[in-house]
Amino acid sequence: MTTVESGKLVRTQGVTGPLGFRAAGIAAGIKASGNPDLALVFSEGPDYAAAGVFTRNQVKAAPVLWSQQVLSSGRLRAVILNSGGANACTGPGGFQDTHRTAEELATALSNWGTETGAGEIAVCSTGLIGDRLPMDKLIPAVTEIVHEMGGGLSGGLDAAYAIMTTDTVPKEAAFHHNDKWNVGGMAKGAGMLAPSLATMLVVLTTDARATPEQLDQALRNATRLTFDRLDVDGSCSTNDTVLLLANGASAVTPSQAELDAAVLAVCDDLATQLMADAEGITKRVLVTVTGALTEDEALIAARAVARDSLVKTALFGSDPNWGRVLAAVGIAPITLDPNRISVSFNGNSVCVDGVGAPGAREVDLSGMDIEVRIALNVGDGSATIRTTDLSHGYVEENSAYSS
Amino acid sequence: MTTVESGKLVRTQGVTGPLGFRAAGIAAGIKASGNPDLALVFSEGPDYAAAGVFTRNQVKAAPVLWSQQVLSSGRLRAVILNSGGANACTGPGGFQDTHRTAEELATALSNWGTETGAGEIAVCSTGLIGDRLPMDKLIPAVTEIVHEMGGGLSGGLDAAYAIMTTDTVPKEAAFHHNDKWNVGGMAKGAGMLAPSLATMLVVLTTDARATPEQLDQALRNATRLTFDRLDVDGSCSTNDTVLLLANGASAVTPSQAELDAAVLAVCDDLATQLMADAEGITKRVLVTVTGALTEDEALIAARAVARDSLVKTALFGSDPNWGRVLAAVGIAPITLDPNRISVSFNGNSVCVDGVGAPGAREVDLSGMDIEVRIALNVGDGSATIRTTDLSHGYVEENSAYSS
């Protein structure tokens, strides 16, 4: 539990941390393993404001196309998520499957007592690209999961379990504001814009009162600083989705700044959990670039280093090979002066003004956490990317696992 | 031996294939292993025309800065190359070491009977970034190697051996034109602009008569189509250098088109050899994009796929995971229509118009050679990138080997 001035952050609660949200996770039989693979997040209202951020990949999965369309209304009553299949590159038939899933859920929720339209339901999928979903299993499970919805915390945890693919642990976080309103969230995968394997999915909930525009601003601000700066392997999924639902159940209307801070706190914690559980990880790596001409250039440079296979393999080997860091920075399309670059590993100076520092080859990087700091000394821009090493485990998992 | 209309390509000869070039390779003691680590290529004239292409990395090694300066005259009499140290990120002292190496070689060549200035000598280095070269070992070796220079083919082979770092075999090729002039070359490393480990170095020689401008055109044309399209891991060295020396010893003046074709043939063959010997390789992969809006966009798309860690690990696992190819293409900043993309693996259709083809998951990729063809169907641009898989061997070599 992290206590800050305005409230407390906990990892024992997720999407059902805020008031007036129900959730569930069940095994629909999509995964061959029989593990849970279908999750539902449901808002009891009274408001149904929502915002979303989606993958920038031009190849977008059917559920992304559907949910983008639904979100144009700024309104969501429920999110249905499946693991075990991405429903990407599945053509018009795949889109019809997504549409039908939303329709079936709308009917089930209406029969259950809450009049709901398919246009109020977002759909998320994650798993192998290219195969149609087993609708014969999915459709009955959509009705079943409505009856499983719990209002307590276990519903949120069940949902967090059901969206896992290669994740080894569920990821939840909730922020309780001192003024009696809350933001909760769950996540799977390993990185927005640059996730490992198929997808990063995040659902955030809040019982604050907020307009779709306020939610959109809070969400874009938070993803820019958290999931956008988590880069495991530079790949970008067809299915990445981050949703934020607000139901106003707390009856509190926070300021934009308060809302921004709370959403950022939950996203930042979920991003930390995603990095810690990334595939094949043996090192948690922070790459910070300071003194760039602009924040954007700092980000480009940090991302170039975080994506460099030679830097990542050196870190896997606990090798303080700072020359590879300079070579990686040098190909970033930014303003720099090779003779003014300084680098430190975990606070130990390894390169000063473009030249090796005494003792640089002896820096001990055998621990799990490595901070790479690169000072360009040409301006005031700075940015940090969270990444991992490139290990045998990464190669093993991604060559042996088809997803 | 490859016979084409205009001549023959052989791999048994390198830089001393053309008339009037001498070369040598010796162990100067720079490498701890005691293996050969110093090479010399020397032109007997009568011409000394030359051109060069260098790394685009903003962090450039001292020998690159030196050789770029020397090449501004369009004239070279000799190239001295060392492995065992990149002399990059070594500050003003490192540049002085390069300058001194050229001065010492000029003196040694002059004493040997060929009046030579340091400004006629290019210097290349490859190995670990960040350490100063052991000048106490290098300087006496520079005089020694002048006396070792052979005019026969063994001199070229010795030189090709001495520039190796993680290469397992030396790389040589020579093209003998029917009109009695020749182009020869040697190479080390694994990729221009995107080499594995420290560096790609290539020295090309020809006994044709050509101006520096003609050589520059032939060289830029050839590197654009060969080394620039070899991409092992997306990294880019501080030391990459490709040099072409022409001494006119054949007294033949080929047309620009003939020169272009011969230089391209040698570069293409050396690029093939570099790919085949890339670190940790278990698959030789060609990624071809057709039907892009332009050749540039085809190249961007092919490079995006060739650099994608998830595609490369899937190929290591012989997994026909075409969804990862679509996800990789989808993040390339190019014009595309997701519903018109088709993909084949080794001629087997796996995706048609953005949707999986029947039998796609059963395509056998267990062989060493894999051709990935991606048809975008939006234009006429096409391009091919040569790459490799991402294997345990790659991780092992780059985490255990400090270079």
| Nearest-by-Cβ selection for A58 from B238, B319, B338 | B338
Mean pLDDT in residue range B275-291: 86
Separation of alpha carbons B18 and B44, rounded Å? 11
The reply to whether residue A307 touches residue B360, judged by beta carbons under 8 angstroms, is no
Q: Which of B276, B299, B326 is the last residue of a domain?
A: B276
Separation of alpha carbons A177 and B105, rounded Å? 73
Separation of alpha carbons A144 and A138, rounded Å? 10
Residue B37 CB contacts under 8 Å (≥ 6 apart), including other chains: B27, B28, B29, B30, B31, B82, B83, B84, B162
What is the crossing angle of helices B135-148 and B91-112, to 10°? 30
On whether any CB of chain A is under 8 Å from the CB of B364, the answer is no
Task: Give binding residues of A for substrate as ranges.
Answer: 165, 188, 199, 279, 398, 403
The alpha carbon of residue A109 and the mean position of all alpha carbons in its chain are separated, in whole angstroms, by 28
Give the rounded percent of residues in chain B with a pLDDT score beyond 90. Answer: 69
CB A372, CB A325: distance < 8 Å: yes
Where does the pLDDT of residue A247 fall: very low under 50, low under 70, confident under 90, or very high at 90 and above? very high
CB B9, CB B2: distance < 8 Å: yes
The whole-number pLDDT of residue B8 equals 94
The whole-number pLDDT of residue B280 equals 73
On whether any CB of chain B is under 8 Å from the CB of A328, the answer is yes
Weakest-pLDDT range from A4-18, A258-272, B2-16, B195-209? B195-209
What is the CATH classification number for the domain harbouring B113? Answer: 3.60.70.12
**Alpha helices for B88-152 (secondary structure H):** 91-112, 135-148
Mean pLDDT in residue range A367-371: 93
Q: Kind of pairing, strands A181-188 and A201-206?
A: antiparallel
Mean pLDDT in residue range A291-306: 94
Residue B123, pLDDT > 70, answer yes
Min Cα separation B107/chain A (Å): 30
On whether any CB of chain B is under 8 Å from the CB of A379, the answer is no
Task: Please tell me whether residues B272 and B315 are part of one structural domain.
Answer: no
Three-state SS at B38: strand
Where does the pLDDT of residue A366 fall: very low under 50, low under 70, confident under 90, or very high at 90 and above? very high
B235 marked ligand binding residue? no
Where does the pLDDT of residue A228 fall: very low under 50, low under 70, confident under 90, or very high at 90 and above? confident
Mean pLDDT in residue range B221-235: 80
The whole-number pLDDT of residue B165 equals 85
Task: Please tell me whether residues B129 and B265 are part of one structural domain.
Answer: yes
Q: Which of B247, B276, B305 is the last residue of a domain?
A: B276
Task: Please tell me whether residues B335 and B196 are part of one structural domain.
Answer: no
Residues in B closer than 8 angstroms to A196, CB to CB, are 310
Domain that holds residue A194: 2-276
Q: Which residue of B has its CA nearest to A317?
A: B399
Counting other chains too, the contacts that A268-271 makes at CB distance below 8 Å and 24 or more residues apart are A268/A222, A268/A225, A268/A226, A269/A2, A269/A9, A269/A11, A269/A173, A270/A171, A270/A173, A270/A185, A270/A186, A270/A187, A270/A202, A270/A226, A270/A227, A271/A187, A271/A226, A271/A227, A271/A229, A271/A230, A271/A386
The whole-number pLDDT of residue B192 equals 39
Residue B251, pLDDT > 80, answer yes
Task: Please tell me whether residues B214 and B80 are part of one structural domain.
Answer: yes
The whole-number pLDDT of residue B235 equals 62
Task: Please tell me whether residues A190 and A89 are part of one structural domain.
Answer: yes
The Cβ of residue B330 has, within 10 Å, a number of other Cβ atoms equal to 24
Task: Please tell me whether residues B292 and B178 are part of one structural domain.
Answer: no
Task: Please tell me whether residues A97 and A33 are part of one structural domain.
Answer: yes
For A276-315, where are the E strands, in sequence order? 284-292
Where does the pLDDT of residue A402 fall: very low under 50, low under 70, confident under 90, or very high at 90 and above? very low
Residue B10, pLDDT > 70, answer yes
Residue B117, pLDDT > 80, answer yes
Q: Which of A370-374, B194-198, B327-331 has the highest mean pLDDT?
A: A370-374
Give the rounded percent of residues in chain A with a pLDDT score beyond 70. Answer: 94
The Cβ of residue B192 has, within 10 Å, a number of other Cβ atoms equal to 31
| Residue B48 in tokens | 């000394």
Weakest-pLDDT range from A46-60, B120-134, B225-239, B252-266? B225-239
Mean pLDDT of chain A: 90
Min Cα separation A353/chain B (Å): 8
The Cβ of residue A346 has, within 10 Å, a number of other Cβ atoms equal to 16
What is the CATH classification number for the domain harbouring A330? Answer: 3.10.20.340
Separation of alpha carbons B262 and B258, rounded Å? 6
Task: Please tell me whether residues A268 and A292 are part of one structural domain.
Answer: no
Answer with the residue of higher pLDDT: B281 or B284: B284
Weakest-pLDDT range from A80-84, A380-384, B98-102, B272-276? B272-276
Answer with the residue of higher pLDDT: A313 or B192: A313
Mean pLDDT of chain B: 90
Tell me how far CA of residue A238 lies from CA of A62, B154, B204, B267, in angstroms.
Answer: 9, 54, 45, 38
Task: Please tell me whether residues A211 and A308 are part of one structural domain.
Answer: no
Residue A177, pLDDT > 60, answer yes
On whether any CB of chain A is under 8 Å from the CB of B169, the answer is no
Q: What is the pLDDT of residues B294-353, one digit of tens each?
A: 999 999 999 889 988 888 888 988 999 898 899 889 888 899 998 999 999 999 999 999
What's the order of all strands across the beta sheet hosting A38-43? A21-26, A38-43, A78-82, A121-125
Task: Please tell me whether residues B72 and B221 are part of one structural domain.
Answer: yes
Residue B232, pLDDT > 90, answer no
- Structural domains counted in chain A: 2
Residues in A closer than 8 angstroms to B319, CB to CB, are 399, 402
Separation of alpha carbons A337 and A326, rounded Å? 11
Positive or negative torsion for Cα A391, A395, A396, A397: positive
Answer with the residue of higher pLDDT: A128 or B170: B170
Q: What is the pLDDT of residues A117-141, one digit of tens each?
A: 999 999 999 988 888 999 999 999 9
Residues in A closer than 8 angstroms to B317, CB to CB, are 398-400
User: What is the phi-psi region of residue B358: left when phi exceeds 0, alpha when psi lies from -120 to 50, beta otherwise?
Assistant: beta
Q: Which of A16, A116, A166, A199 is catalytic?
A: A199
Task: Please tell me whether residues B123 and B271 are part of one structural domain.
Answer: yes
- CB contact residues (below 8 A), chain B span 198-227, against chain A: none
Q: What is the pLDDT of residues B23-53, one digit of tens each?
A: 999 999 999 999 999 999 999 999 999 999 9
The whole-number pLDDT of residue A307 equals 85
Answer with the residue of higher pLDDT: B116 or B400: B116
The whole-number pLDDT of residue A192 equals 39
Q: What is the pLDDT of residues A325-351, one digit of tens each?
A: 998 898 888 999 989 999 999 999 999
Where does the pLDDT of residue B173 fall: very low under 50, low under 70, confident under 90, or very high at 90 and above? very high
Mean pLDDT in residue range A279-298: 91
Mean pLDDT in residue range B159-176: 91
The whole-number pLDDT of residue A232 equals 67
B199 marked ligand binding residue? yes
The whole-number pLDDT of residue A59 equals 86
Where does the pLDDT of residue A396 fall: very low under 50, low under 70, confident under 90, or very high at 90 and above? confident
Where does the pLDDT of residue A190 fall: very low under 50, low under 70, confident under 90, or very high at 90 and above? low
Task: Please tell me whether residues B314 and B380 are part of one structural domain.
Answer: yes
Q: Which of A256, A276, A296 is the last residue of a domain?
A: A276
Mean pLDDT in residue range A236-241: 84
Where does the pLDDT of residue B82 fall: very low under 50, low under 70, confident under 90, or very high at 90 and above? very high
* Radius of gyration, alpha carbons of chain A: 22
Tell me which residue has tokens 């993309």. B341
| Nearest-by-Cβ selection for A402 from B321, B329, B392 | B321
Flag whether the ipTM exceeds 0.95: no
On whether any CB of chain B is under 8 Å from the CB of A390, the answer is yes
